[in-house]
Amino acid sequence: MARTPQSTALLISLSVLAFLQTSYAGGIAIYWGQNGIEGTLTETCNTGKYSYVNIAFLNKFGNGRTPEINLGGHCDPASNGCTSLSTDIRNCQNRGIKVMLSIGGGDGSYSLSSSKDAQKVANYLWNNFLGGQSSSRPLGDAVLDGIDFNIELGSTKYWDNLARALSGFSKRARKVYLTAAPQCAFPDRFLGAALNTGLFDYVWVQFYNNPPCQYTTGNTNKLLNSWNQWTSSINSRIFLGLPASSAAAGSGFIPANVLTSQILPVIKRSPKYGGVMLWSYYDDQSGYTSTIKSSV
Backbone Cα Rg of the chain: 20
SS3 296: coil
Cis bond before residue 186 (omega within 30° of 0): no
With the CA atoms of 184, 185, 191 and 197 taken in that order, what torsion angle do they form, in degrees rounded to the nearest 10? 90
Strand duo 177-180 + 146-151: pairing: parallel
Task: State the sign of the Cα–Cα–Cα–Cα dihedral 205, 211, 217, 223.
Answer: negative
- Phi, psi at residue 216, to the nearest 5°? -125, 155
CA diameter of the chain:
69
Beta strands in the chain (DSSP E): 27-32, 52-61, 68-69, 98-105, 109-110, 146-151, 177-180, 202-206, 237-243, 273-279
Judge whether 38 counts as a catalytic residue. Answer: no
> Could you count the other beta carbons within 10 Å of the beta carbon of residue 128?
20
Residue of 54, 51, 92 whose CA lies nearest to 275: 51
SS3 243: strand
SS3 7: helix
Report CA 257 to chain centroid distance, whole Å: 24
To which H or E segment does residue 38 belong? none
SS3 183: strand
Q: Active-site residue among 38, 43, 68, 152?
A: 152
Active site residues: 152
